[in-house]
């Protein structure tokens, strides 16, 4: 029994999951149970937990892509801008501002937007793998230029769309659950199968641990990186679709602003090392949910707007401390020494 528990705590997603449960529990206690309240509105589930899942879906997708990128020892800080680009393109197509011959087809809009995300990702991948620019610099180019591109597409305005089909991407429900959740589920399942059932996951970890020896071992490191960055771009594009669908419009200045940091934080909270190597996508997903539930709980507890950011930061610090092995060991040592003293 004890060994099984030990095995469980060794699992990478164990501690993040505990943290998530702790946050939810604290919320539940503070709100007197109202936090977990769920009811059915217009045939779908409605409650704070659903909010966390739906609003967290963007971050979960980004964290999925970001986990892979970080596992190769790289980083992608352009995801927020790619979100803005994909939202701008999709809304402009649906609105008929660009490519009006498509007649505002939502399917076409989604496809073109995702394609744009793939191109952005491939561009990042090319810079990192072929031209060997350091990842943070390579992706910074798109981070800076991306919003400009999005602005050009929308003429610097917020393009508003009134298509119900487009809104479904964020606000739709299947079986009473929000549609973005199914998107996340699909892609996470896909990538999990791809990394666990093929050798690709191993290639990624190997690339992250030691690219030189990986290359000598016969792994095409450059191609692995190219694929990973492209995938990350695609995830960002889909996150951008969810974001713009939720507000029925493309807000180029604010869509995904600073979300790259949240995505990296989600992966870090999930316990994947930013230096590359071993990774766990489920742990990152939990990390993303933790970040979203922090935001939701700050709103739920009615923290004053002026101190919101500080409260969030404090919670993140607490989580990081809770996850740090050294800190835990130090606390444990303190406690045992005290016990020893009191026993003596």
Q: Which residues bind another protein (CB under 8 A)?
A: 34, 37, 41-42, 46-48, 51, 55, 134, 136-137, 140, 144-145, 147-148, 151-152, 156-158, 160, 171, 243, 246-249, 251-252, 254-255, 295-296, 299-300, 302, 305-306, 308
Name which of 165 and 192 has its Cβ closer to another protein.
165
CA nearest neighbour of 250 among 95, 47, 23: 95
User: Backbone phi, then psi, for 325, in 5-degree steps?
Assistant: -65, -40
Name which of 68 and 183 has its Cβ closer to another protein.
183
The answer to whether 20 and 53 have CB atoms below 8 angstroms apart is no
Query: Encoding tokens for residue 275?
Result: 């230096």
- Where do we find the tokens 């003429």? 155
The answer to whether 189 and 287 have CB atoms below 8 angstroms apart is no
Name which of 125 and 256 has its Cβ closer to another protein.
256
C-alpha span between 282 and 123 (Å, rounded): 27
Q: How far is the CB of 48 from another protein (least distance, A)?
A: 5
Q: How far is the CB of 306 from another protein (least distance, A)?
A: 6
Q: Is 37 helix (H, G, I), strand (E, B) or coil?
A: coil
Q: How far is the CB of 289 from another protein (least distance, A)?
A: 15
DSSP state of 193: H
Q: How far is the CB of 151 from another protein (least distance, A)?
A: 4
C-alpha span between 174 and 303 (Å, rounded): 33
C-alpha span between 76 and 53 (Å, rounded): 24
Name which of 148 and 282 has its Cβ closer to another protein.
148
In order, the DSSP letters of 220-232 are -HHHHHHHHHHHH
C-alpha span between 83 and 96 (Å, rounded): 20
Q: How far is the CB of 170 from another protein (least distance, A)?
A: 9
Name which of 15 and 173 has its Cβ closer to another protein.
173
Name which of 102 and 158 has its Cβ closer to another protein.
158
Count CB-CB contacts under 10 A for residue 33.
10
Name which of 191 and 239 has its Cβ closer to another protein.
239
Q: How far is the CB of 34 from another protein (least distance, A)?
A: 8
Which are the contacts of 33, defined by CB distance < 8 A and separation ≥ 6? none
Q: How far is the CB of 140 from another protein (least distance, A)?
A: 6
């Amino acid at each position: 029994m004890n060994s099984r528990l030990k095995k469980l705590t060794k699992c990478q997603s164990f501690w993040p999951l505990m943290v998530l449960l702790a946050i939810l529990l604290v919320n539940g206690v503070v709100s007197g149970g109202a936090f977990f309240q769920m009811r059915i509105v217009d045939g779908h589930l409605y409650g704070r937990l659903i909010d966390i899942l739906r609003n967290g879906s963007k971050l979960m997708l980004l964290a999925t892509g970001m986990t892979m990128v970080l596992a190769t020892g790289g980083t992608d800080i352009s995801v927020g801008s790619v979100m803005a680009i994909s939202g701008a393109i999709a809304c402009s197509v649906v609105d008929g501002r660009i490519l009006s011959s498509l007649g505002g087809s939502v399917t076409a809009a989604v496809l073109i937007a995702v394609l744009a995300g793939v191109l952005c990702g491939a561009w990042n991948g090319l810079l990192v793998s072929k031209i060997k620019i350091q990842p943070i610099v390579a992706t910074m180019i798109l981070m800076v230029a991306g919003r400009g591109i999005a602005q050009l597409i929308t003429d610097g305005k917020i393009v508003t769309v009134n298509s119900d089909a487009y809104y479904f991407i964020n606000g739709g429900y299947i079986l009473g659950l929000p549609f973005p959740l199914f998107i996340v589920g699909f892609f996470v399942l896909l990538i999990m199968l791809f990394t666990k059932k093929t050798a690709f996951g191993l290639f990624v970890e190997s690339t992250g641990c030691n690219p030189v020896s990986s290359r000598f071992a016969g792994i095409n490191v450059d191609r692995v990186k190219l694929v990973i960055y492209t995938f990350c771009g695609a995830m960002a594009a889909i996150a951008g679709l969810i974001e713009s669908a939720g507000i029925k419009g493309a807000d180029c200045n604010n869509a995904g602003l600073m979300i790259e940091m949240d995505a990296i934080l989600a992966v870090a909270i999930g316990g994947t090392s930013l230096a590359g190597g071993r990774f766990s996508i489920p742990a990152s997903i939990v990390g993303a949910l933790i970040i979203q539930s922090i935001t939701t709980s700050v709103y739920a507890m009615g923290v004053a707007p002026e101190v919101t950011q500080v409260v969030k930061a404090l919670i993140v610090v607490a989580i990081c401390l809770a996850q740090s092995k050294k800190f835990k060991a130090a606390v444990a040592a303190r406690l045992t020494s005290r016990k020893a003293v009191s026993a003596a």
